[in-house]
């Protein structure tokens, strides 16, 4: 149990981290879904806003005021003959339109391929489904991507390429020196290859997160949800199996795709080798025709330098294209508007753009945005964008774990303590039982001996008297007296044993009545004096009182006195003097029995009142006994609501002090 408890303590922090991760992951995932739905709505809005003109060619640029949707930026139109109808290269063009043309004319005319963002789990769906999680030895047997990839005209994956891309070169060739200058001046340094957008950015992320199916889909809701379920299943396979991911990424790279690196680092606590920093999105080269082949409308991110522009396009029946650049700021505003509460006591939640900058952030918060606790990629149209969640209190898990651990420690310590105390109690109880058993055994031996000694004497004297041997009259009297003394000793012992038996069975009855202490003590002393005198012991009774009335059982009090006196007789041989005194202190009768014997060691002062206890219980002990005398005395006194204690006297010897209430209660 101890080992289990320690292991549980060890894992507490990890467990808390996992459960927090799970709950935040759910929230992040639902936020990502919200944004995906919003992107669908934006697509629909744009579709509605950009009306296809009755006469496409010659193309008349729609009046800005006529377009109600503020998201619509630069409008473009391309004919089915791949001829750019708008923006038309003329001096009336704005700087932005010129730039737009500069970057996109080669694309619209299908002269170049550009990196198209694709969801790897959708692209390699079949392969992921077919990959058994535990049997990944035959990675080469798995067929390559189901779709034929177009030949790569600009190798997006190879690092160290020429900095000027084909698109830029071709565009350069088409535009006048004047336009080139204005373009270059407009945004110097922007002219880079598309790959530069993703080059040198932060690596390290835990795992690829699911993204929604393409927003350009026009399927019904039912089909959509079925597809979503299937997609989630594929995502799960992909996420949970590192070997599957390795194989699929390798396959994609072989097919000429570039695997994006996520720009956040989640699961900071994980070992580097366990982290997945590859994005679920890959860049696959393709032309404008490839992008627009399967659908009638859609969004695609146009990667330019270190940022991207989001374009909307729609296809007419005749195969012409109408589209626009989506205003980035307004797009961010729309996404921000649907985000849940940015910050609460538990977490901070936001959306990071392609530069890992939050598009909305709670005030006064300064954290490392690149290290969220949980993050998820969102959409093909928003590459490198992530929904990211951070803990409001980074110390939360640690503090919680410490407090839970401490509580556990307290509980375990308390349990161990009780176990220990319980163990000690049980052991001491057992020891006591063993001691009692031993004492009982020696009690039987002692009682037998005590009974045998007087019996032997009585028998011996009786035999002598019966044998008829001539004995002097004086001697005969002495024998008879000795027999009497031995008989008294016998009856005292038997009386003690019977009393003890009655007390143990709670059958002892007292005949309490109003009596005189003085008279009772005198009677006890008188009954013992003669016998003790014969032993050479003087028994004295001293009191200033003539009478002291109290409620007690005189027979029992006499037994108390006789037991104490016979103990003095037995153990205080050297003393030869036993004194009994009686005083009245307040409403109590104080009786003292004093001898000049060896006294009682302090450590045994309480123990001698326990049944069967004898200070020297060995067979070599000078005097034998049952160990019952003082136990009976103690019991009688307690049953009279009194107390008995023993002290050593000055000048040697012991003094037993009895205190009894006069009223008897």
Question: Which residues of this protein are in contact with ligand ADP, per CB under 6 A?
Answer: 567-568, 571-572, 595, 597-598, 600, 608, 613-616, 625-631, 654
Side-chain-facing half-sphere of 298: CA atoms under 13 Å: 23
Query: Largest Cα–Cα distance of the chain, in whole Å?
Result: 169
Q: What's phi and psi for 283, nearest 5 deg? A: -105, 120
Helix/strand/coil for 318 = coil
Of 247 and 489, CB closest to ligand ADP: 489
CB of 428 to ligand ADP, least distance (A): 22
Of 61 and 610, CB closest to ligand ADP: 610
CB of 460 to ligand ADP, least distance (A): 24
In what order do the strands lie in the sheet containing 654-661? 538-543, 577-585, 588-594, 654-661, 643-648
Q: Which residue is nearest to ligand ADP (CB)?
A: 625
Of 40 and 595, CB closest to ligand ADP: 595
CB of 659 to ligand ADP, least distance (A): 18
- In whole angstroms, what is the distance from residue 219 CA to residue 27 CA? 26
Q: What's phi and psi for 209, nearest 5 deg? A: -110, 160
Of 133 and 606, CB closest to ligand ADP: 606
Contacts of 6 (CB under 8 A, 6+ apart): none
CB of 571 to ligand ADP, least distance (A): 4
Of 244 and 628, CB closest to ligand ADP: 628
Of 312 and 500, CB closest to ligand ADP: 500
CB of 437 to ligand ADP, least distance (A): 18
Q: Between β-strands 513-516 and 538-543, what pairing exists: parallel, antiparallel or unpaired?
A: unpaired
24 Cα distance to chain centroid: 19
Of 92 and 619, CB closest to ligand ADP: 619
Of 84 and 568, CB closest to ligand ADP: 568
DSSP string of 55-80? --SS--PPPGGG---TTEEEEEEE-T
CB of 496 to ligand ADP, least distance (A): 8
Asked if 275 and 267 count as a contact pair (C-beta separation under 8 A), the reply is yes
CB of 577 to ligand ADP, least distance (A): 12
CB of 491 to ligand ADP, least distance (A): 15
Asked if 352 and 316 count as a contact pair (C-beta separation under 8 A), the reply is no
CB of 610 to ligand ADP, least distance (A): 8
CB of 537 to ligand ADP, least distance (A): 12
Q: Between β-strands 347-352 and 386-391, what pairing exists: parallel, antiparallel or unpaired?
A: antiparallel
Using alpha carbons only, what angle is made at residue 198 by residues 195 and 203, rounded to the nearest 5 degrees?
Answer: 140
Residue-wise burial string across 501-533, b where 16 or more C-beta atoms lie within 10 A, e elsewhere: eebeeeebeeebeebbbbebbeebbeebbebbe
Of 292 and 654, CB closest to ligand ADP: 654
Neighbours of 448 (CB within 10 A): 11
In what order do the strands lie in the sheet containing 258-261? 114-119, 278-286, 258-261
Of 517 and 612, CB closest to ligand ADP: 612
């Amino acid at each position: 149990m101890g080992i289990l408890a320690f292991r549980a303590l060890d894992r507490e922090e990890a467990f808390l981290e996992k459960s927090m991760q799970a709950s935040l992951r759910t929230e992040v995932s639902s936020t990502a879904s919200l944004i995906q739905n919003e992107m669908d709505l934006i697509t629909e809005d744009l579709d509605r806003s950009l009306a296809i003109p009755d006469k496409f060619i010659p193309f008349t640029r729609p009046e800005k005021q006529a377009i109600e949707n503020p998201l619509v930026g630069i409008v473009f139109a391309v004919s089915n003959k791949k001829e750019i109808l708008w923006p038309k290269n003329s001096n009336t063009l704005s700087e932005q339109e010129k730039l737009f043309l500069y970057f996109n004319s080669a694309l619209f005319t299908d002269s170049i391929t550009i990196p198209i963002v694709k969801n790897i789990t959708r692209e390699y769906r079949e392969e992921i489904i077919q990959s058994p999680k535990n049997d990944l030895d035959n990675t080469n047997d798995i067929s390559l991507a189901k779709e034929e990839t177009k030949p790569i005209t600009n190798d997006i994956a190879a690092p160290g390429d020429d900095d000027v891309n084909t698109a830029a070169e071709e565009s350069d060739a088409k535009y006048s020196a004047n336009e080139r200058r204005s373009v270059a001046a407009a945004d110097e340094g922007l002219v880079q290859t598309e790959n530069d957008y993703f080059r040198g950015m932060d690596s390290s992320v835990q795992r690829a997160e699911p993204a929604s199916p393409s927003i350009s889909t026009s399927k019904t809701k039912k089909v959509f949800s079925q597809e979503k379920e299937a997609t989630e299943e594929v995502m799960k396979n992909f996420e949970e199996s590192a070997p599957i991911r390795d194989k699929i990424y390798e396959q994609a790279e072989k097919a000429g795709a570039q695997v994006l690196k996520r720009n956040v680092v989640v699961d900071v606590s994980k070992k580097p080798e366990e982290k997945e920093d590859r994005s679920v999105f890959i860049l696959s080269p393709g032309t404008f025709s490839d992008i627009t082949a399967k659908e009638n409308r859609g969004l695609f991110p146009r990667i330019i330098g270190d940022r991207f522009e989001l374009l909307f396009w729609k296809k007419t029946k005749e195969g012409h294209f109408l589209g626009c650049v989506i205003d980035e700021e307004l797009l961010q505003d729309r996404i921000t508007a649907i985000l849940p509460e940015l910050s609460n006591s538990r977490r901070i939640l936001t959306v990071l753009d392609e530069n890992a900058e939050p598009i909305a952030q709670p005030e006064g918060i300064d954290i490392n945005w690149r290290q969220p606790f949980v993050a998820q990629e969102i959409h093909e149209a928003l590459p490198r964008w992530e929904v990211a969640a951070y803990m409001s209190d980074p110390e939360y898990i640690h503090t919680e774990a410490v407090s839970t651990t401490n509580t556990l420690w307290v509980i375990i310590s308390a349990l161990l303590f009780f176990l220990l105390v319980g163990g000690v109690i049980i052991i001491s109880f057992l020891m006591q039982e063993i001691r009692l058993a031993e004492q009982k055994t020696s009690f039987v031996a002692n009682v037998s001996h005590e009974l045998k000694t007087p019996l032997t004497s009585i028998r011996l004297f009786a035999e002598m008297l019966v044998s008829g041997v001539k004995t002097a009259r004086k001697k005969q009297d002495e024998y008879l007296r000795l027999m009497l003394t031995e008989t008294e000793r016998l009856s005292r012992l038997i009386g003690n044993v019977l009393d003890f038996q009655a007390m143990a069975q709670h059958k002892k009855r007292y005949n309490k009545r109003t009596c005189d202490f003085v008279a009772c003590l005198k009677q006890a002393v008188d009954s013992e004096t003669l016998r003790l005198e014969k032993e050479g012991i003087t028994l004295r009774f001293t009191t200033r009182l003539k009478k002291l009335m109290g409620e007690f059982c005189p027979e029992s009090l006499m037994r108390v006195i006789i037991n104490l006196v016979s103990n003095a007789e037995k153990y205080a041989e050297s003393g030869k003097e036993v004194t009994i005194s009686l005083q009245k202190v307040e409403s109590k009768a104080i009786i003292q029995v004093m001898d000049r014997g060896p006294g009682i060691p302090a450590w045994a002062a309480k123990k001698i009142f326990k049944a069967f206890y004898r200070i020297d219980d060995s067979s070599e002990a000078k005097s034998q006994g049952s160990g019952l005398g003082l136990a009976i005395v103690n019991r009688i006194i307690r049953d009279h609501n009194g107390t008995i204690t023993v002290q050593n006297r000055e000048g040697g010897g012991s003094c037993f002090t009895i205190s009894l209430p006069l009223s008897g209660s």
